Structure formats: structure tokens, C-alpha cells
Structure 1
Amino acid sequence: MATQIFTLVGVLIGALTSYFATTVAERAKFRREMATRWDERKLDTYIEYLTCVKQIQRAAMAAGQAREQGVDASEALAAMEENENRRSILFETFVLLSNEKAATAAHTVNQRTWELLRMARTPSSGTAELRPIPLVEALNVLHEAARSDLTISSAVSVR
């Protein structure tokens, strides 16, 4: 009888140990999967947001060049406004997914983008007036913050 009780207790301890080990492993796996899922979403959002900002910058520069050449800049300005609308919407997702450092850097990028938009909308603005706006520096800070948030090793900033 005592042998059967020891055997039963041993089986019970083994089953509980197995259950707890499996539960802990499954929870860890779930957390990794969720982190990976959100990191992928974060990366996609960061790329879309930064692409929008670059498209705004290119369109603003194209509008400035058109004005310098005496050509109609309305097409470039329309593209700039369309991308600004997209950037504004993407920014909300960006802030929801990013850490504080990346969100702060994105706010700075927004400020520089708005300066660029304001200057590009001014009829007298050419590319010479648009160049001094320090958007590229703000983008480099945002790139670094995004890499840190995504735990990607730092690389040299591209200008």
C-alpha cells in the first residue's frame, strides 16, 4: 500500500512539474510572438511615416525648382499636400507604437516638415529658401531613435 502511495505521489509530482514547465514555456513563446508581431507592425509604420516625409520633402523641392524656372508648381504642391495628409494620419499610429524617444524625435520631424510646408506654400519660395530647413538632421535623429526602439544596431546616418 505504501509503495502505491509513493508511486501515485511521484506520478502526481511529475504531472504537475510537466504542466508548470509547459505553461511557462508556452507563455514565453506567446510573449516572443507578440513582441515580434508588434515589432513588425512598428517597422512598417516607421517606414511608411519616413517615406511620407521624404515624399513631402521631394515635392516641396520640386515646387521650389518649378518656381525658380517660372513653371507652374501646382502639381508638385498637390503631391506635397497629399503626402502631408497621409503623414498626419500615419503619425498617430507611429506615436501609438513607438517608445518615448522615437515619438519625441517624430514630433521634431513634424515641426521641420511643417516649416518646409509653410515655406513651400509661399509663392516666392524657391529651392534656395527651402534648403536651410534642418529636416535631414531631424530625420537622422528619428532614424537613430527608431533603430533603438526596434533594437537594431546603430548604423551610419545617410544624408
Structure 2
Amino acid sequence: MATQIFTLAGVLIGALTSYFATTVAERARFRREMATRWDARKLDTYIEYLTCIKEIQRAAMAAGRARDQGMDATDALNEMEESENKRSILFETFVLLSDEKAATAAHAVNQRTWELLSATRAPSSGVAELRPIPLVEALNVLHKEARSDLTISSSTPVQ
């Protein structure tokens, strides 16, 4: 009888150990999958947001060039405003998904973008008035913080 009890206890301990080991492994796997899923979502959001900023910058410069050449800048301004509307929405997702440093860097990019938008909306502004706005420097800081948030290392600045 004692042998059967020891055997039954051994089977019970083995089953519990197997259950707990499987549970721990499944939880770890689930956390890794979720982290990977969120990192992919973050990367997509970062790329969309930065693309929008670049679209705003290109449209603003196109409007400045058009004014410098005495041409109508309406199309470029409309494109700029459309990209600004999209950027505004993407920024909310960016802040929700990013860490604090990346969010702070994105706020700085927003500030420089608003300066560029404001300068571009002035009817007399050409390329010369738009170039001094330090948007590229703010973007470089954002790139660095986004890479850090995504745990991507790079030794060269992105431009």
C-alpha cells in the first residue's frame, strides 16, 4: 500500500511540475508575442508619423519655391494642410505607443512643424524664410529616441 501511495504522490508531483512549467513557458511566450506585436505596431506608427512630417516639409518648400518664382502656391499649401491633418491624428497614436523620451522628442518635432506651417502660411514667405526652422535637427533627435524605444542601435545619424 505504501508503494502505491509513493507512486501516486510521484505522479501527482510530476503532473503539477509539468503543469507549472508549461504555464510559465506559455506566459513567457505570450509576453514575447505581445511585445513583438506592439513593437511592430510602434514601428509602423513611427514610420507613418515621420513620413507625414516629411510630406509637410516637402509641401512647405514647394510652396516657398512657387512663391519665389511668382507662381501659385495653392496646390502645395493644400497638400501641406492635408498632411498636417493626418499628422495630428498620427501623433496621438505615436504618444500612446512610445516611451517618454520618444514622446518628448515628438513634441519638439511638432513645435518645429508648427513653426514651419506658420511661416509657410504667411503669403510673403519663400524658401529663404522657411530654411532656418530647425526641423531636421528635431527629427534627428526623434529618430534617435525612436531607435532607442524600439531597441534598434545605430552609430550614424539618420537624415
TM-score w.r.t. the length of structure 2 is 0.99
SS at match of 1:29: helix
Q: CA deviation at 1:154?
A: 2.2
Contact 1:60 1:80 survives alignment (8 Å): yes
Q: CA deviation at 1:158?
A: 2.9
Residues 55-66 of structure 1 mapped to structure 2, 5 A cutoff: 55-66=55-66
For 1:108 and 1:53, locate their aligned partners in 2 and report how far apart those are by CA, in whole Å. Answer: 12
Amino acid at match of 1:68: D
TM-score w.r.t. the length of structure 1 is 0.99
For 1:131 and 1:34, locate their aligned partners in 2 and report how far apart those are by CA, in whole Å. Answer: 42
SS at match of 2:70: coil
* CA RMSD in angstroms, aligned pairs only: 0.6
Contact 2:119 2:130 survives alignment (8 Å): yes
Amino acid at match of 1:13: I
Q: CA deviation at 1:156?
A: 1.2
Amino acid at match of 1:92: E
Structure 1, unmatched stretches of 5+, are: none
Q: CA deviation at 1:89?
A: 0.3
Contact 1:98 1:149 survives alignment (8 Å): yes
Amino acid at match of 1:48: E
Amino acid at match of 1:84: E
Q: Does 1:157 align with 2:133?
A: no
Contact 1:59 1:79 survives alignment (8 Å): yes
Partner of 1:102 in structure 2?
102
For 2:45 and 2:56, locate their aligned partners in 1 and report how far apart those are by CA, in whole Å. Answer: 17
Contact 2:143 2:158 survives alignment (8 Å): no
Amino acid at match of 1:126: G
Partner of 1:146 in structure 2?
146
Q: Which runs of 4+ in 1 moved over 4 A?
A: none
Contact 1:45 1:94 survives alignment (8 Å): yes
Partner of 2:7 in structure 1?
7
Partner of 2:118 in structure 1?
118
Contact 1:148 1:154 survives alignment (8 Å): no
For 2:48 and 2:99, locate their aligned partners in 1 and report how far apart those are by CA, in whole Å. Answer: 17
SS at match of 1:51: helix
For 1:82 and 1:118, locate their aligned partners in 2 and report how far apart those are by CA, in whole Å. Answer: 15
Amino acid at match of 2:111: Q
For 2:36 and 2:155, locate their aligned partners in 1 and report how far apart those are by CA, in whole Å. Answer: 22
For 1:14 and 1:112, locate their aligned partners in 2 and report how far apart those are by CA, in whole Å. Answer: 62
Q: Does 1:76 align with 2:106?
A: no
Structure 2, unmatched stretches of 5+, are: none
For 1:155 and 1:81, locate their aligned partners in 2 and report how far apart those are by CA, in whole Å. Answer: 35
Listed one character per residue, the Cα deviations across residues 17-76 of structure 1 (whole Å, up to 9, x for unaligned) are 000000000000000000000000000000000000000000000000000000000000
Amino acid at match of 2:93: T
Percent sequence identity is 83
Contact 2:45 2:94 survives alignment (8 Å): yes
